[in-house]
Structure 1
Amino acid sequence: MDKENEQEMEWLQAQKLEINVDLMAAAKQQLQFLATVDQNRWLYEGPSLARAIYRYNACWLPLLAKYSEDSSIRESPLVPPLDCEWVWHCHRLNPVRYKSDCEQLYGRVLDNSYVVSSTNGHCKKQTEDLWNVLYPEEPYDIDLVKADSVDVSEKMSALEKCTEYDLVSAVNRQSPFYYQVSGAHVNNDVFLDEAVARYKGFLHVIKRNRERSIKRFCVPTYDIDLIWHTHQLHPVSYCKDLEKAIGKILEHDDTDSDRSKGKKLDTGFSGTTAQWEETFGRRYWKAGAMYRGGAPAPVTNSPFASDLLGKEVSAEDSECHNVIQFPEVEAVEVLLEIVGVKNLPDGHKGKPFVVFSKTQPDSLFNTERRLTVLSESGQKQVASFQCEPKGELCFRLMASSPCKIPVSKEPKDLGSASLSLREFLVPAAKLSVEKWLDLTPPGNSKSDSKPVSLRVAVSITPPTRSPPLLTMVRSGSSLKGSCFPMLRKARPAKSSTLIVDETEAEVISLEMRNSNGGAAKGDNTVKKQVIGIKESGETLVLAEFTGKFWNLLDSKWSLKHLNSPMADGPLFQLLGSHLVKVYSGRKLDYEPKHCTKRRSDQDFMTAVEFSKQHPYGKAVGLLDLKFRSFEAKENWVVLPGIISAFILDSIPKKEGFGGWSAATEDEVEVGSEVNAAPENGGGCGSGCGITANAADSAGCGSECGGGCGGNTAKAAGSAGCGSGCSGCGGGCGGNMVKSGGCGGGCGGNMVKSGGCSGGCGGGCGGCGVGTLKGATGNSPAQTEAVAA
């Protein structure tokens, strides 16, 4: 039996592992629960958490023990209060300790067989009635205000039955987990089905280690860890299943969070990667399952409460497309590795590399990029990028001349092959492919020898909506040499600002005008209007300044300046069917993860929605003041957002409202000379990324070079954030411009560039191609592991 067949047999053997839980359905329930907890962040720390831990020990566990033992009171499932369920959740995620605590305090493991989550809408009346009988002085539903004022330390010390496990630390360790699994793609059935299969593979690897007396700290990716958590939340099943599968209850160690190179997590992830790929012959990394960087800082530590929240959504949400049209674009995240090559011509071994692109370039990916071949170079490079889920990925194998003194420096084209993205989506049965592709020689020339073949590994996420991005092009801007193709084509009228979308199409033109020919006599207030001019010539009044604030879209929205008493408070408020506060800088999902010096945070403003569903705020848009673009995560914010962006960009600060643009006083023309590399990296340079010494570059090397700390021309051996493609003054963590290579930066999942989102080797969550020495991973994709 050859190696590939042996690896496939190992995978099939792993899938026979028996688990007595519907892990997919339970994982979806867990995601819903974690989202609810994240909307109640008072449960993460402080007196409220202390109160929750007391209630868990004094009320919930005794109630659960009584209920599971006495069948006479089981009329319907128990529904735990949210605070108790959260603490119980974190306790169960140390399965060995939870088992021992339950057995010590109650003589048996307390399971969830008779329990349903507080977040699934099940009737709570029976549980609440039973609770009130047993604990008349402790309300079933905790009051947030009272919880913060009640000292429970004396009550805790007086409890007869109480775990000594440090639940505060357990909660602190689990609180950031939801951010890592909160992507829209994670709840997809195909993604979760593959996650369950990979979890079984993870357990199989640990089983093989035990059989061979190999001690290894195994580190899961986040898709595997989500399913692992899900299994642990069913403690009786988890104990039985793991005893049967691997002969022990698997410990869940989430105490180590140091991702530094050479540390326990790093070496553990590298070892797990190498063993997985050797055992199963398939890649361990997975699109949408790698570390995203640390959870972003909140914009407020107190939930926002207002009568405005929960206001009915009006017709303006659907009215947007009556005023402007913008494309509805879907996107997938792609991870790509060139694993091996066979039948390589003599003299080229050790020298080949692959240039990949899309046969149908799209608004998210329209460049060429380059990868080494793992089997030939010993360097594990994984490219990460976003693209639309259509067309084909094209691969060209290139090699240097076999001569010691090459006649030409141009690499030789050894052939090409393609892989259709439809292979992943029709039918939607798999999100990962690893296969050999036979190359077609250049010019379709025939050869009697065996065709050269590439082993290509590709993983994608399920398609999700790509946020629309609109760019403002001012009249008089210098477009010559622009890094953005759309700006070269745009030709705004003399007094207008042209709004274009990511496909380079005109959306609308905007003008700032004085209403009624100017201010009335004796009135020093300048009356201004924002006029929209459609391509057909139709004009619309989109906004009007009242003297104190702006009315937008026939007063359906208002934009007003806020005198924030705190330096980090909101600057503006956009109010309509939704409540949006605008903050200076990149906040929440847009927060830069790495290399923050690459661009000033003052170049950006973040629009944050507050609602009953998001009392701590949800980022719904980002305004890039320097490149005059607005990205909208929700359709309802596109039109009011771009009008507000235009207002803030158009009116000088000295007039008392608007402006606030970093480029207002120190104007930077689009397309001006920015090739001279500043201290922290390059601007628009380096061409297509296949540049001098790019063979050693871990950066994505797409059109606009320079990383955060280096440019693509000499990013020798860099594994991460010094080698990415930041782009035209762009930068780490986000230029928001969806170009095929102009934009980017480390941490740049917010950056819709074809060159720069993704990996730093899967570790720093940042830029482009991660170079990993040898055949192992770099920078662990997870914070939780198991020593087996």
Structure 2
Amino acid sequence: MDKEKDHEVEWLEAQKIEISVDLLAAAKQHLLFLETVDRNRWLYDGPALEKAIYRYNACWLPLLVKYSESSSVSEGSLVPPLDCEWIWHCHRLNPVRYNSDCEQFYGRVLDNSGVLSSVDGNCKLKTEDLWKRLYPDEPYELDLDNIDLEDISEKSSALEKCTKYDLVSAVKRQSPFYYQVSRSHVNSDIFLQEAVARYKGFLYLIKMNRERSLKRFCVPTYDVDLIWHTHQLHPVSYCDDMVKLIGKVLEHDDTDSDRGKGKKLDTGFSKTTAQWEETFGTRYWKAGAMHRGKTPVPVTNSPYASDVLVKDPTAKDDFQNLIQFPEVEVVEVLLEIIGVRNLPDGHKGKVSVMFSKTQPDSLFNAERRLTILSEVGEKQVATFQCEPTGELVFKLISCSPSKIPVSREPKNLGFASLSLKEFLFPVITQLSVEKWLELTPSKGSQTDTKPISLRVAVSFTPPVRSPSVLHMVQSRPSCKGSCFFPIIGKSRLAKSSTHIVDETQTEVITLQIRNSADGGILKDDQRQVMGVTDSGETRVLAVYTGSFWSLLDSKWSLKQINASTADNPLFEILGPRVVKIFSGRKLDYEPKHCANLRSDLDFMTLVEFSKQHPYGKTVGLVDMRFGSIEAKENWLLLPGIVSAFILHTVLKKGGSEGFNVTTKDIKEESKQTKLVAATENNVNANSTNVETQTAITAPKKGSGCGGGCSGECGNMVKAANASGCGSSCSGECGDMVKSAANASGCGSGCSGECGNMVKAANASGGGYGARCKAAKASGCGGGCGGGCGGGCGDMVKSVNASGCGGGCNGECGNMVKAA
């Protein structure tokens, strides 16, 4: 108890640290700015970046120093051009260098007080007028069509006041950061409030180290790093706050990017984790704040202007209520079992904890095992996604000694539960909890001793909408591949009808393609997609016009694109939005290194292009092999279902139903992509990083999983010299990787460059239901708890590991065991 009070005192002391910036409001603006820059990726590299750096040195900084304290600007604020603000942003994120450059050239630190961001929608007329007077030959907004690199180089070399800091490299280091903090939960008030509090705790550790003359490289998680960056964007406040706290300006070292085991980032994160937990008695790793893996490869390097093609989205749509599909919310959970007390003699060192949910859902419906930190001396963490309902149930299991036959069941010493709803509804009260839970003894357990208690640490992300997953089930009893759900209800159409069912096996709608050969009133070569709802209503959902499919009374259309390479889209869905369909898994669905057994050619990714997302945003994924679609947004549900049904039906018939392209054509176009992917997988199998898997649906149950596996469990990889493994299985299940020594963890960190996602050495991944073996490895291990159901995260067991990346794109999670 005294130790717990000491932890509380330390935390309260940390919260007394004074920050002269409203970090919550500033972080929201920071995220908005990063989002805007990401929509203008010409700022990341190339001639436009070189021109932006010149304009920053030659125009913006002189304007700022000339007018920032001038009375002529007192009536309004300066608004920098976007390109100049981005370079200024990256310069300030090296606070020591920025301060020294400002002092050298201007005699003082140039602050952002009196400056408004270009993305806030503020009037720029005053600043534009000042700019034109100072720089009549240089337009206020960067002219992308008039960039002369030779001229820029010549003018830059002639500047008297120009930083020698390598701003090109600084931009390249900062560019990936937005991906790490771009998930929707990051922008919520409660997540940012806790991030601010954790940032103060982070600074408190640094202060302690300086007072004790300890040289430690502290590495932040991404929630802390976001707030740290935000603080640095206010140069004078950051300088004053840091000098007051530690006597100097705290350096932000973002130059280290080597995430290998034993390197600076790896050891720094391990030591930061240990110091945090020793000082505050709470967990450092946090749901939704861990490394997501590398930024996905873009589907295009040129922004797509789609506004000309977009139809009016406000037009009345009588198809909106044709199908009923309840929205489901999802949270990411990070779980760790810290300790056990009052454990009876004879059980020490033999116990573990099985955890599950009282209300299993489509995202998490299995029982998983975790070791206890105090018993084994190694950190093991589970991250997974689930619906924010019911309770987490924990059972303390005592394993049998090795001399007792394996057939004997492990002894259940008791159970306890923790309500998810208590913390998330009706108002989110907190996103982290760590407490002792007293166990209720199981039947037959001794009751004459003190009650056993477990110390459980759980963190959550705020609930967000879960993607909708729908499956195409053929009504033919002999169907193979896509019929992994029982037929629900009676077939209202012909025997070749396709039932669309959700994850609960509830029928949503029944579809059938009807053509002129069926008789009736259809013209020659005309085809229709007919739909029958659960209420019995029959509607024409799509009509083939001879060159494209017209969907939902011409509100949408599905067209084939003449793709010259496998990297280009094959189809497009046009309507109130513009969606292009690419072969393979792209962007958020990009396959990771434990997903090799499912061919990337089995999938098609739906990518929306808009003014807000000129480089594309994933909105859905179609599994062509098993016939399913995941839709991230409601507007895509009906046009997405109809389009996926047409593509799945047409491509299997060799293109005879309206498209020339076939599955064979797609595979031929993608041979080079497949060859490159195979080469990368061979290389990555022997590297030190494992990243995450993406998939959408499961094959036939029990495929490759071993005993008790429901078919939803995904890959099982047991590696001898492997490290951790992330996962991203669209809310289903991820990889299981058990590794021994020579493993490294994955912190998060400064500028988005630190942290590790670790790869299994000598291991190969796989799709759902696959079992992968590495060197000196076999089978599944015992991490499944007797049944690998959907919704499990990855299991990674490693020695001397640090940090943990919580699932790619927020979809699933990891189980990481680290020293």
Report the Cα distance in structure 1 between the residues aligned to 2:148 and 2:717, rounded to whole angstroms.
Answer: 61
Matched with 1:611 is 610
Q: 1:266 to 1:91 in 2, by over 3 A?
A: same
2:215 alignment partner, SS class? coil
Q: What is the deviation of 1:634? A: 1.5
Flag the 1:517–1:496 CA change in 2: closer, same or farther, 3 A: closer
Trace 1:212-231 onto structure 2 (pairs within 5 A). Answer: 212-231=212-231
Partner of 2:435: 435
2:567 aligned partner: 568
1:505 corresponds to: 506
Pick the aligned partner of 2:817 from 760, 765, 772: 772
2:793 is equivalent to residue 756 of structure 1? yes
Q: Label 1:596 to 1:361 Cα distance change in 2 as closer, same or farther (>3 A).
A: closer
Q: How does 1:179-198 map to 2 (within 5 A)?
A: 179-198=179-198
Query: With structure 1 as the length reference, what TM-score do the two structures score?
Result: 0.87
Query: How far off is 1:178 after superposition?
Result: 0.3
> For structure 1, which segment, 80-89 or 436-445, has the greater mean C-alpha deviation from structure 2 after superposition?
436-445
Give the equivalent residue in structure 2 for 1:637.
636
| Map of 1:24 onto structure 2 | 24
Cα drift, residue 472 of structure 1: 0.7
User: In the aligned structure 2, how far is the partner of 1:393 from the partner of 1:152?
Assistant: 61
What corresponds to 2:778 in structure 1?
Answer: none
Letter in 2 for 1:772: K
Residues 603 and 661, structure 1, Cα contact 8 Å, conserved in 2: no
For residue 534 of structure 1, report the CA deviation from its aligned partner: 1.2
Q: 1:730 to 1:471 in 2, by over 3 A?
A: farther
Compared with structure 1, are the counterparts of its residues 349 and 429 closer, same or farther at alpha carbon in structure 2 (3 Å cutoff)?
same
Range 721-730 or range 65-74, more displaced: 721-730
Match of 2:156 in 1: 156
User: Which position in structure 1 is the counterpart of 2:252?
Assistant: 252
More moved, 106-115 vs 259-268: 259-268
The number of residues matched between the two structures is: 744
Task: Tell me the secondary structure at the aligned position of residue 473 of structure 1.
Answer: strand
State the one-letter code of the partner of 1:762: C
Residue in structure 1 matched with residue 532 of structure 2 by the alignment: 533
**Structure 1 CA distance, aligned partners of 2:401 and 2:60?**
73
Contact kept in structure 2, 1:132 and 1:140, CA below 8 Å:
yes
Aligned position for 2:278: 278
Distance 1:446 1:410, change over 3 A: closer
1:86-235 pair list within 5 angstroms: 86-147=86-147, 151-235=151-235
Q: 1 CA distance for matches of 2:327 and 2:792?
A: 21
> Is the 8 Å Cα contact of residues 733 and 790 (structure 2) preserved in structure 1?
no
Partner Cα separation in structure 1 for residue 127 and residue 645 of structure 2: 54
Distance in 1 between the 2:430 and 2:795 partners? Answer: 21
1:675 partner amino acid: S
Aligned residue in 2 for 1:675 = 703
- Cα deviation for residue 701 of structure 1 reads 13
Matched-pair contact (CA < 8 Å) for 1:725–1:755? no
Q: Could you tell me how far 1:84 is from its partner in structure 2?
A: 0.4
Residues 1:676 and 1:334: Cα distance change in structure 2 (over 3 Å):
closer
Kept in 2, the 8 Å contact 1:334–1:385? The answer is yes
- RMSD (Å) for aligned C-alpha atoms: 3.7
Query: Which AA in structure 2 matches 1:342?
Result: R
SS at 2:253's partner residue? coil
1:370 counterpart SS class: strand
- Is the aligned partner of 1:554 residue 2:553? yes
What SS does structure 2 have at the residue aligned with 1:63? helix
1:347 corresponds to which residue? Answer: 346
Distance change >3 Å, CA 38–CA 683, structure 1 → 2: farther
Tell me the secondary structure at the aligned position of residue 612 of structure 1: coil
The answer on 1:298 being equivalent to 2:298 is yes
Superposed CA deviations along residues 743-785 of structure 1, whole A, max 9, x for unmatched, are x9xxxxxx994113698861484675433332xxxxxxxxxxx
Report the CA distance shift for 1:706/1:593 in structure 2 as closer, same or farther (over 3 A).
closer
SS in 1 for 2:65: helix
* Counterpart secondary structure, 2:173: helix
Q: Deviations over 1:248-290 (max 9, x none)?
A: 2111011111212222111111111111111110000010000
Map of 1:738 onto structure 2: none
C-alpha distance in 1 between matches for 2:515 and 2:471? 24
Correspondence 1:632-671 to 2 at 5 A:
632-651=631-650, 652-655=653-656, 657=659, 660-661=662-663
Contact 1:706 / 1:727 at 8 angstroms: preserved in 2? no
CA displacement 1:464-523 (0-9 Å, x = unmatched): 111111111112366899996x547687662211101122211000001114845999x9
- Per-residue Cα deviation, 1:100-149 (whole angstroms, up to 9, x for no partner): 00000100000000101010111111001111111100000112222477
Deviations 1:206-232, CA, capped at 9 Å, x for gaps: 111111111111110000000000000
Q: Deviations over 1:179-225 (max 9, x none)?
A: 00000000000000000000000000111111111111111000000
Query: Does structure 2 retain, via aligned residues, the 8 Å contact 1:602–1:662?
Result: no
Q: Name the aligned partner's letter for residue 456 of structure 2.
A: V
- Aligned residue identity for 2:793: C
Superposition map of 1:471-482 within 5 A:
471-476=471-476
Query: How far apart in 2 are the matches of 1:627 and 1:7?
Result: 52
Deviation, 1:551, is 0.3
Describe the shift of the 1:178–1:319 C-alpha distance in structure 2 as closer, same or farther (beyond 3 A).
Answer: farther
Mapping of residues 448-463 of structure 1, within 5 Å: 448-463=448-463
SS in 1 for 2:59: helix
Are 2:375 and 1:330 aligned? no
Residue 429 of structure 1, CA deviation = 2.3
Partners of 1:596 and 1:555 lie apart in 2 by 38
TM-score, normalising length: structure 2: 0.84
CA displacement at 1:447 relative to structure 2 = 1.6
Aligned with 1:203: secondary structure?
helix
Q: Percent sequence identity over matched residues?
A: 65
Q: What amino acid is aligned across from residue 134 of structure 2 in structure 1? A: L
Q: Distance in 1 between matches of 2:599 and 2:708?
A: 14
Aligned to 1:383, the other structure's residue is in SS state strand
139-148 or 624-633, larger mean C-alpha shift: 139-148
Q: CA deviation at 1:403?
A: 8.1
Which shows bigger deviation, 764-773 or 4-13?
Answer: 764-773
Structure 2 unaligned segments of length 5 or more: list them: 668-696, 746-757, 773-783, 798-802
Q: Distance in 1 between matches of 2:241 and 2:666?
A: 64
Paired residues of 1:180 and 1:222 also in contact (CA < 8 A) = yes
* 2:754 counterpart residue number: none
Q: Helix, strand or coil: the match of 1:161?
A: coil
- Whether the 8 Å contact between 2:704 and 2:771 is mirrored in structure 1 is no
Residue of structure 2 in register with 1:736 after alignment: none
- For 2:66, the equivalent position in structure 1 comes to 66
Alignment partner of 1:10 is 2:10 = yes
Q: Residues 70-89 of structure 1: matches in 2 within 5 Å?
A: 70-89=70-89
Change (3 A) 1:763 1:258: farther
- Offset, 1:726: 6.5
Confirm or deny: 8 A CA contact 1:336 1:383 kept in the other structure.
Answer: yes
For the residues of structure 2 that align with 1:391 and 1:674, how far apart are their CA atoms? 27
Deviation for aligned residue 1:407: 8.3
Equivalent position of 1:783 in the other structure = none
Corresponding residue of 1:409: 408
Partner of 2:39: 39
Structure 1 residues 269, 512: closer, same or farther in 2, change over 3 A?
A: same
Change (3 A) 1:635 1:315: farther
Give the AA of the match of 1:20: S
Q: Deviations over 1:394-434 (max 9, x none)?
A: 00000113684358531100000000012322442210000
Q: How far apart, in 1, do the equivalents of 2:727 and 2:121 lie?
A: 50
